[in-house]
Structures are given as structure tokens and as C-alpha cells.
Amino acid sequence: MTTESPQGYLESKVFPTLVTGLEELLRWSQQTPEADRPLEWLAQYLKRNNPNPQQNDVHPRDFKPTPVRRKFRKNQHNGNKPLRLIFVGPPACGKGTQSEYIKREYGTYQLSTGDLLRAAVSSGSPVGEQAKAVMEAGGLVSDELILSLIEEAISKPECSNGYLLDGFPRTVVQAEGLDRLLEGAGQHVDRVFQFRIDDDLLVRRVSGRRVHPASGRSYHVEFKPPKVPDVDDETGEPLVQRSDDNEDALRKRLAAFHEYTEPVIQHYKSQGVLVELDASLEPAQVWSQIRQVLVDDM
């Protein structure tokens, strides 16, 4: 019987399988927003499959997700150039989910006009005081005020890695104002992602939503049903449908979106920065579309 050297054994028995596994892990990590979790899952796997549980001192909490992969990609993006993105899409199209993926992957800061207004009012800044006076009088905050808030926000340290505008601009006038603002700051929009999805599917998504008020847990009668209809899985308490999660309200919001936002889409299409997404797909598949565009832009 021949005795195989340690190196020979590893090269013939272990390394091929290891290399195949690493290649598969790399392929998988390029298509998912959960690429920080393999070490945690490996710990769980070892714990389940250890033949000597008494000697098992591996715990998932010992494996902390690290941003190494994201830092590498972010530093590779156009010579460490920050990403400046815009999401355009109707209510319930999935912009919020994809915003989280973008933030985790590239470190960009999400800018929502609603959050900016609330923060400005709370801070008591001059712009916040102006916005507060308008809102208390029942008026609509002007485009100029909103743009002032955005101008202030993009100069802050949290936007140094780039930012994502979600829900703004909503009109061509706002888009043109944003263009002028960014030009004055020596910046420009890198990509505008349009979330394309059929209105009828959105109605199905929204009208079927149910929530547990106390915890915020959400369900869907068709896509994510509770174990017992209209009952929270954990507490057994009743689920409710939010007042604005109905077809009539959504149809009105969709009509307004199409009327005012379609020209915005054409505005950015003419600039060559618009990317159309199929937002009817699963979130991971939508993210794969977005990520591929950003990787190709590197």
C-alpha cells in the first residue's frame, strides 16, 4: 500500500472540492445581498454536524458579519467615486427594499424628502423653521425649500460615500432644479433606476397586505399568508388592513404618479442615465439587475 504525502492527499482529495466550493460561494455572493452571512451560516452548519457535541464550542455569535467585500467593491467604483443614484417608481414597487441593499453594498446614504423635512423641523434650522411654518399653515412645502434641504444634506459627512434619492424628483421642474443644484456642487446623477411594474400587480400587493399593529409584523393574504387567516402567527391577535391599503386609494396614487413622473423618466432618459428594472420579480432578482448595472459601470 502506498503512503500518500500530506501535500499529495490535500491536492488530490481536499483542494479540488475546496476550490469548487469557493468558486460557487463567489458566484453566489455576486448575486445576493446577504453576502456577509456565510461565516455565520458555516458556524451553524458545524454546530449541527459536529459528531462530538460536547466538544462543540463554535457559536454563530462568534462570527460577526464583516464589510470587507463591500469595502472592496466600493473602493473599486470609479476610483472610490461616490455613487449618486435616484429611484423612481410607484407606491409599493419595492424601492425601500432595494434601498437597503444599496446601502449595505455600497455605503450610500438614503435621502427621503419626508425624513429630511422631519429632521429639519426637529433641528430648528432656518430651513426647518420655514418648512414648519408652511406645514402648520396647511400649505405645501415649495420645491425651493426641498432643494435647500437636499443641498444641505449632500454636504454632510454621511453622504461622502454617495447618496440615494428615493421619491424625488417627482416633477420635471424638480428634476431641472436638482440638475442645477448638483451642477453647482460639482456633482451629477450616476444612475436613475425606474421600477417598472403593472398597476394590477401593485393593487394585488397592496390590497392583500395585513399587519399586526403591536409588533409591525406584516403578512400578505396571497404572497405571505399567516398560518391562520387574519391572525398573527406569534400572538394569535387579529391582523388589520391599513386604511390606505385599498384599491381605490392606490389607484388614485398611481394615476397621480403616472401623470407627473412619466415626464421625469423622459428627462433622465434623454441624459442617458436611466435604467429600466423589472420590478415584478422577486427582490433578490431585482437587486441582481441593479447590481449588474453598477458593476458594469465600474
Active site members: 95, 170, 209, 242, 253
> How is residue 79 written as a grid cell?
476610483
Report the distance separating Cα 168 and Cα 181, nearest Å: 13
Query: CB neighbours of 291 closer than 8 A, spacing ≥ 6?
Result: 30, 31, 101, 105
Within 10 angstroms of residue 82's Cβ, the number of other Cβ atoms is 20
- Alpha carbon separation from 268 to 66, 82, 90, 162, 276 (Å, rounded): 36, 19, 17, 19, 11
Contact 148, 92 (CB under 8 A): no
CA 250 to chain centre: 22
Report the distance separating Cα 56 and Cα 48, nearest Å: 9
Contact 186, 79 (CB under 8 A): no
3-state helix, strand, coil in the chain (%, to 5): 55, 10, 35
Contact 47, 61 (CB under 8 A): no
> How is residue 296 written as a grid cell?
458594469
**Given its phi and psi angles, is residue 157 left (phi above 0), alpha (psi -120 to 50 degrees) or beta?**
alpha
> How is residue 230 written as a grid cell?
387574519
